[in-house]
Amino acid sequence: MDLPDLGVGFVYLPGLESLSETISRSLDVVEVEPQTFWTHSPPPDGGGVSSFRVNRDRLERPLAMGRPVLVHSIGYPVGGSRDGDPRHRAALKETFSILKPAWWSEHMSFLAAHDSRGPRHIGFLMPPVQSAESARVIAERIRRLQDEFGLPFAFETGVNYLRPIPGELSDGDFWAEIAERANCGILLDLHNVWTNAVNGRQGLAAVADRLPLERVWEIHVAGGQWHKGYWLDSHSGLPPEPVIEAAAALVPRLPALHAILLEIIPDQIDARNITEEEIALCLARLRAIWATRGSALSGGSARGPRPAAAADLPSMEAWEHGLDAALRGEEAGASRLVAQDPGLDIFSDLIAMARRGTLVEALPLSMRYLRRGLGGGGLDTLFGRFWRRAPPEPFMSDEARRFSGFVRSEVSLPHLDEVIDFELAAHRAAMTGAPQYVAFSCAPEPLLMALKHGDPLEIVPCDVEVEVTPPAGKMVPRDGIEPPTP
């Protein structure tokens, strides 16, 4: 595969735009996670098929840095028994046409379980069962995607907090089998593999010894943190020293490495006081490692034959259904295989935290009001009821809208509905570029400002219609797409 050597770069997410531009001298390449820049608005009447909106202005911004851009998809993982939401494909094609990446990548994971009612979103990238069926199905999917997009593809080696299932292929053998069957690249996430090893799965060196190293096109590094005795892939800081050391040891063995990317979550940078200088220093260390790529190649592969997976492993569908059920404390499918695994509790915690994080970010004023009105314990109880009633939504705006409907039916606080209406209208205004209108039966500004600043509520009765004006220059819908009416 004739791919360009792109060098060392940084992930590009909402919230990291300015920082990326500030440190652009330290970057050879940036990697966009496209779905974080897309939006989704269902049809106003609830019918018809909605599409995902690609915001061209926001996606074109990294191109202005004059660096090559890679696309790291996060919402259309390739590790499930069934294809993901087909709407991703059209939006990915549009994204590729804008960013023109040399290759793209996605996760070797699944996001939903399926039953007779359709897909049930789990809210987290989950690991597939490492069986012969999985390797075959996933490899066929990757081949189809490569044919459809006409763009080289690499899958990311995922995090797995579960213990290995007896009879599964090892992590390294599973990924090797898929890469060779699909004739694709590997995005070797060193922090993911190191995290897996710290938590009891196959060690990083053993994984590397089983991989077709000539297929490792890209490396990710990141930081993490502890939780209940598990190391988490939380992208919460700079890479721990063992991950840097692993990169230094492995990169000379990689003949076709084309990029090394540093991943970090924007909120963590300020919360943990990570300076631009520290990020630049880390990138400089990675660049020194990058310079050693392919410098210690061994002659030929010494991997030996791959063992076969056991024939009695659960089917992919049974595994997905069982994992989803076990996360909800139910028995179904292959749930018995993981029900006693403490890693299940880790996944459960992380899913809940992601959902809470989404809601407090998307509905900050409503959530402050709910905590004031219900107390911390009451809010926890409300969350618990909502988690049981509604599966997670992939898009933040959809999760916020669904939670809002639930809150309206469950909680009665003065003018709460109006605060919720206002925040949802703000979402619509941002997504459509069109003003939105909401009614208040009190003066809106004193109420909203009191919630925003933590002041005592000030209620001034009056009838007001609020025109919520779009934020300037943000989230304008792409050309040719009619914004939904409120």
Partner 1 sequence: MGIQPSRQATNRVVRVSLPADVASDLAKFQRVQKDILGKLGCLACCSGWDIRWDIFNDFNVDKNLKVNAGPLR
Amino acid at 230: Y
DSSP H or E segment with residue 142: helix 132-149
Per CB under 8 A, does 60 bind partner 1?
no
Q: What would the two tokens of residue 143 be? A: 């081949």
Nearer to partner 1, 75 or 185 (CB): 75
For residue 351, the tally of other CB atoms under 10 A from its CB is: 18
With respect to partner 1, which residue has the nearer C-beta, 107 or 415? 107
Q: Of 368, 484, 351, which Cα lies nearest the Cα of 423?
A: 368
Which residues within the stretch 104-133 sit at the binding site for partner 1 (CB under 8 A)?
107, 124-125
Nearer to partner 1, 301 or 469 (CB): 469
Q: Quick one: 189 or 214, whose CB is closer to partner 1?
A: 189
For residue 384, what are its two tokens?
């618990």
Among 397, 404, 407, 442, binds partner 1 (CB under 8 A): 397
Q: Give residues 288-327 in contact with partner 1 (rule: CB under 8 A).
A: none
The rounded distance, in Å, linking the Cα atoms of 305 and 217 is: 23
User: Does residue 23 touch partner 1 according to CB under 8 A?
Assistant: no
Note whether 202 binds partner 1 by CB under 8 A: no
Q: Provide the token pair at 188.
A: 């070797």
Q: Considering CB under 8 A, how many residues would be counted as binding partner 1?
A: 91
Chain positions 218 to 277 lying near partner 1, rule: CB under 8 A, are 224-225, 227, 232-236, 263, 265-272, 276
Of 36 and 146, CB closest to partner 1: 36
Report the alpha-carbon distance of residue 399 to residue 272 in Å, rounded. Answer: 27
Taking the complex as a whole, the smallest distance from the CB of residue 354 to partner 1 amounts, in Å, to: 5
Which helix (H) or strand (E) segment holds residue 440: the answer is strand 436-442
Closest CB 119 distance from partner 1, rounded Å = 15
The least distance separating partner 1 from the CB of residue 99, rounded to whole angstroms, comes to 15
Is position 348 an interface residue for partner 1 (rule: CB under 8 A)? Answer: no
Neighbouring CB atoms inside 10 A of 75's CB total 22
Number of Cβ within 10 Å of residue 38's Cβ equals 22
Per-residue tokens: 372: 């004031």
241-250 and 190-198 helices, crossing angle to 10°: 120
- Burial category of 303 from C-beta neighbours within 10 Å (exposed 0-12, middle 13-18, buried 19 and up): middle
Are 232 and 222 within 8 A, CB to CB? Answer: no
Within 406-465, the residues that bind partner 1 by CB under 8 A are: 422-423, 425-427, 429-431, 436-437, 439, 443-445, 448, 452-454, 462-465
Closer residue to partner 1, CB minimum distance, 134 or 436:
436
Q: Which of 205, 467, 481, 485 binds partner 1 (CB under 8 A)?
A: 467
Closer residue to partner 1 (CB): 116 or 273 = 273
Closest distance of CB 161 from partner 1, Å: 8
Span 155-174, contacts to partner 1 by CB under 8 A = 156, 158-159
Position 72 contacts partner 1 (CB under 8 A): yes
- Residue 351 and residue 238: Cα distance in Å, rounded? 23
Of residues 167 and 484, the one with the C-beta less far from partner 1: 484
